[in-house]
C-alpha cells in the first residue's frame, strides 16, 4: 500500500525554516530538491557528499522536527547525491580524486597519490596564471583546513553550483592562494573551464590601465567571459572605489550566469574597511571558509610532504624539531626547510639535528614562534639545576644559584623580546646592569666551553616544549 506523499510537508517546512534562518544561511544550505517519499521517509537530493554531510550535521534534526510539527508523523529525511550539471559544461567523469577522499578529511587521504591528475596536468598546456604545483595532491589536509579543503574540492568538481561565491580567508602563509589555485588547476584539467586567476592588486592595475587606454569594454568582456574567476587578496580593494564598482558588476554578470567566483582575503569580510556595502554583501553571500594555523601533527605531515617533493633526505628528528619550533604558518615552515636544504647543498653535508639547531636558531628564537614567558624559563632552568624557582629568582648569590640564574637571563635575552630592565624586574627586582653582566658571563663561558652550548640548546628546547 505504498501511497505516501510528503512533498507538501517538505515544502512547508522549507518555508518555515526560510523564515527562521538568515537569508545567507538558507541560500547556502537549502540547495536540496525533493525527490520521492516512502513509508515515514522522504528523499531529497543534494549536490555532493560533502554537502550532504554538512547538511545532515547542521540541519537534519531541525528539518525532521519541523516535519513532525507539521505532519504529526516522524518522517525521516534521507539524502541522495545528484550532481546537477552546469549548463555550459559537459560532464566529464573523473576517476582521479575518489569521492571517498572528498568525504573523509583524514590526513592520510591527502597523502594518496593521484597519478592520473598529475599526468593530465602535465599533458595539458600550462594555464599560465596558475602554479602547477598548487594542486590538491600537494595540499596536506589537517584539522585546521579540512572544511575549507573539502569545500574547495567540491567546488572544483561542480563549479558554479553549490558554493557560489566562495571566500577563503585566513592569515598570511596559511595556504589561501594554494587552495584557490588548486581549485583552478583541477577544474582546468577536468572541466575544461575558462579560468582567470588574478590578484586584486593586478585586477585594479589592469582596470586603471583600461580606463587610461579607453579599453574598458575589452576589460569587461575578458572578465565576464570567464567560467571561473579567482580573485586573490581582496583586502587590497579597500578604498579602491572605482575598482570595487567594476568588480561588483563583473560579479553580478558571472553570478547570474552560474559561473564560479572565488575570493581570498586575509581577514573575515566583516573586518574589511572602506568597502561598499553592496560589494561586501556579495562577498558574504555563498560560502565563507577560514584557514587556521596547522597543529604540530599537520606541520610534520606538511614538512614530510615537502621533503618528499624535493627529493632530499632530512631525518625525521629534524622534521620534528622544525615542526615543533615553527608554529606561525606554512610559509615559515617551508622557509626553514629551504634554509636547511641550501645549507646541506653548500656544505655537502647531511642535515643533522645539531646543524638544524644551529642553522635555525634565530628563526626558532624569534618571538613570532613562541609565547615563552620568563616564568617558564625560570621554572625549567631551576628544575634542570635542581633548584627551587624561588631561589632562582631570589637574592642568594652562591655559585650554585648564580650560575643557573645567569643562564636563565641569557636564555631570556635570546628567546624573548624583553628588555634587560624588564628582565631585571622579573629576576627579583634586579637592576638592568645585573642582567647585562649575567649575560656577558655566559657569553664568555660559551667561548671556552662548547658543552655549555649544548646545555643551553637543550634548555631552550625544554622551554619551548613546556607548554605543549
Which residues of the shown chain bind ligand ADP in the complex (CB under 6 A)? 138-140, 145, 170, 172-178, 302, 330-331, 334
Extract the C-alpha cell encoding 237. Answer: 580593494
Q: How far apart are CA 39 and CA 435, in angstroms?
A: 79
Question: Cβ of residue 339: shortest distance to ligand ADP, in angstroms?
Answer: 15
Nearer to ligand ADP, 172 or 400 (CB): 172
Q: Is the peptide bond before 165 cis (omega within 30 degrees of 0)?
A: yes
- The count of other CB atoms within 10 Å of the CB of residue 435 is 26
Question: Cβ of residue 176: shortest distance to ligand ADP, in angstroms?
Answer: 3
Question: Cβ of residue 152: shortest distance to Mg ion, in angstroms?
Answer: 14
Nearer to ligand ADP, 75 or 156 (CB): 156
Nearer to ligand ADP, 174 or 463 (CB): 174
With CB cut-offs between 5 and 8 Å by kind, which of ligand ADP, Mg ion, none does residue 334 bind?
A: ligand ADP
With CB cut-offs between 5 and 8 Å by kind, which of Mg ion, ligand ADP, none does residue 64 bind?
A: none
With CB cut-offs between 5 and 8 Å by kind, which of ligand ADP, Mg ion, none does residue 331 bind?
A: ligand ADP
Q: How far apart are CA 38 and CA 21, in angstroms?
A: 28
Q: How far apart are CA 105 and CA 100, in angstroms?
A: 9
* Longest Cα–Cα distance in the chain: 94
Q: How far apart are CA 373 and CA 464, in angstroms?
A: 10
Question: Cβ of residue 241: shortest distance to Mg ion, in angstroms?
Answer: 24
Decide: helix, strand or coil at residue 228.
strand
Q: What is the CA radius of gyration of the chain?
A: 28
Nearer to ligand ADP, 183 or 439 (CB): 183
Question: Cβ of residue 279: shortest distance to ligand ADP, in angstroms?
Answer: 21
Question: Cβ of residue 55: shortest distance to Mg ion, in angstroms?
Answer: 30
Where are the extended beta strands (E) located within 318-459? Answer: none
With CB cut-offs between 5 and 8 Å by kind, which of Mg ion, ligand ADP, none does residue 139 bind?
A: ligand ADP
With CB cut-offs between 5 and 8 Å by kind, which of Mg ion, ligand ADP, none does residue 223 bind?
A: none
Interface of this chain with Mg ion, residues 163 to 222, rule: CB under 5 A: 176-177
Nearer to ligand ADP, 110 or 260 (CB): 110
Nearer to ligand ADP, 170 or 424 (CB): 170
Q: Long-range contacts of range 10-17, CB-CB < 8 Å, 24 or more positions apart?
A: 10/34, 10/42, 10/44, 10/67, 12/70, 13/63, 13/66, 13/67, 13/70, 16/66, 16/70, 17/59, 17/62, 17/63, 17/66
Which run of H or E residues covers position 230? strand 228-232
**Count of residues of this chain found to bind Mg ion when the rule CB under 5 A is applied:** 2
Question: Cβ of residue 330: shortest distance to ligand ADP, in angstroms?
Answer: 3
Nearer to Mg ion, 176 or 299 (CB): 176
Nearer to ligand ADP, 135 or 164 (CB): 135
Is residue 437 within 8 Å of residue 426, measured between CB atoms?
no
Torsion of CA 380, 384, 386, 391, to 10 degrees: -40
Contacts of 85 (CB under 8 A, 6+ apart): 91
User: Which residue number is nearest to ligand ADP in terms of Cβ?
Assistant: 175
Question: Cβ of residue 334: shortest distance to ligand ADP, in angstroms?
Answer: 5
Extract the C-alpha cell encoding 105. Answer: 578529511
Whole-number Cα distances in Å, 379 to 303, 353, 383: 31, 25, 6
Nearer to Mg ion, 160 or 170 (CB): 170
Contacts of 388 (CB under 8 A, 6+ apart): 382
Q: How far apart are CA 459 and CA 392, in angstroms?
A: 15
Question: Cβ of residue 166: shortest distance to ligand ADP, in angstroms?
Answer: 15
437-448 in b/e form (b: 16+ CB < 10 A) is: ebbebbeeeeee
Nearer to Mg ion, 144 or 158 (CB): 144
Question: Cβ of residue 267: shortest distance to Mg ion, in angstroms?
Answer: 13
User: Which residue number is nearest to Mg ion in terms of Cβ?
Assistant: 177
Contacts of 25 (CB under 8 A, 6+ apart): none
Is residue 190 within 8 Å of residue 92, measured between CB atoms?
yes
Question: Cβ of residue 175: shortest distance to ligand ADP, in angstroms?
Answer: 3
Nearer to ligand ADP, 41 or 129 (CB): 129
Contacts to Mg ion by CB under 5 A: 176-177
Amino acid at each position: 500500500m505504498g501511497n505516501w506523499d510528503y512533498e507538501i510537508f517538505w515544502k512547508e517546512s522549507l518555508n518555515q525554516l526560510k523564515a527562521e534562518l538568515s537569508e545567507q544561511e538558507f541560500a547556502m544550505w537549502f540547495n536540496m530538491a525533493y525527490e520521492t517519499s516512502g513509508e515515514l521517509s522522504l528523499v531529497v537530493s543534494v549536490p555532493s557528499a560533502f554537502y550532504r554531510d554538512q547538511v545532515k550535521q547542521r540541519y537534519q534534526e531541525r528539518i525532521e522536527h519541523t516535519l513532525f510539527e507539521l505532519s504529526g508523523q516522524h518522517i525521516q529525511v534521507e539524502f541522495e547525491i545528484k550532481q546537477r550539471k552546469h549548463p555550459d559544461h559537459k560532464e566529464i567523469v573523473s576517476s582521479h580524486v575518489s569521492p571517498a577522499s572528498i568525504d573523509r578529511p583524514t590526513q592520510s587521504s591527502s597523502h594518496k597519490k593521484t597519478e592520473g591528475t598529475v599526468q593530465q596536468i602535465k599533458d595539458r598546456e600550462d594555464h599560465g596564471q596558475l602554479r602547477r604545483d598548487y594542486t590538491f595532491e600537494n595540499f596536506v589536509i589537517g584539522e585546521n583546513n579540512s572544511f575549507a579543503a573539502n569545500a574547495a574540492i567540491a567546488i572544483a568538481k561542480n563549479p558554479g553550483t553549490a558554493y557560489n561565491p566562495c571566500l577563503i580567508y585566513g592569515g598570511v602563509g596559511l595556504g589561501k592562494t594554494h587552495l584557490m589555485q588548486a581549485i583552478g588547476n583541477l577544474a582546468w584539467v577536468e572541466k575544461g573551464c575558462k579560468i582567470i586567476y588574478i590578484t586584486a592588486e593586478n585586477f585594479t592595475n589592469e582596470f586603471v590601465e583600461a580606463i587610461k587606454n579607453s579599453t574598458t569594454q575589452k576589460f569587461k568582456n575578458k572578465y565576464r567571459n570567464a567560467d571561473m574567476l579567482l580573485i586573490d587578496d581582496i583586502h587590497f580593494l579597500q578604498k579602491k572605489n572605482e575598482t570595487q564598482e567594476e568588480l561588483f558588476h563583473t560579479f553580478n554578470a558571472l553570478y547570474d550566469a552560474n559561473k564560479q567566483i572565488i575570493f581570498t582575503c586575509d581577514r573575515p569580510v566583516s573586518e574589511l574597511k572602506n568597502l561598499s556595502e553592496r560589494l561586501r554583501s556579495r562577498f558574504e553571500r555563498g560560502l565563507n571558509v577560514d584557514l587556521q594555523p596547522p597543529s604540530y601533527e599537520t606541520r610534520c605531515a606538511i614538512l614530510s610532504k615537502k621533503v618528499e617533493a624535493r627529493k632530499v633526505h632530512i631525518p625525521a628528528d629534524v622534521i620534528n624539531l622544525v615542526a615543533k619550533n615553527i608554529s606561525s604558518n606554512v610559509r615559515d615552515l617551508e622557509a626553514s626547510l629551504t634554509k636547511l636544504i641550501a645549507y646541506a647543498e653548500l656544505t655537502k653535508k647531511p642535515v643533522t639535528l645539531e646543524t638544524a639547531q644551529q642553522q635555525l636558531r634565530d628563526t626558532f628564537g624569534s618571538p613570532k614562534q613562541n609565547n615563552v614567558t620568563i616564568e617558564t624559563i625560570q621554572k625549567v632552568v631551576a628544575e634542570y639545576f635542581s633548584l627551587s624557582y624561588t631561589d632562582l629568582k631570589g637574592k642568594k648569590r652562591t655559585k650554585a644559584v648564580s650560575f643557573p640564574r645567569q643562564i636563565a637571563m641569557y636564555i631570556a635575552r635570546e628567546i624573548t623580546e624583553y628588555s634587560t630592565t624588564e628582565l631585571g624586574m622579573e629576576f627579583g627586582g634586579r637592576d638592568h646592569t645585573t642582567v647585562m653582566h649575567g649575560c656577558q658571563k655566559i657569553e664568555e663561558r660559551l667561548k671556552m666551553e662548547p658543552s655549555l652550548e649544548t646545555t643551553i640548546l637543550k634548555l631552550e628546547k625544554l622551554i619551548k616544549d613546556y607548554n605543549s
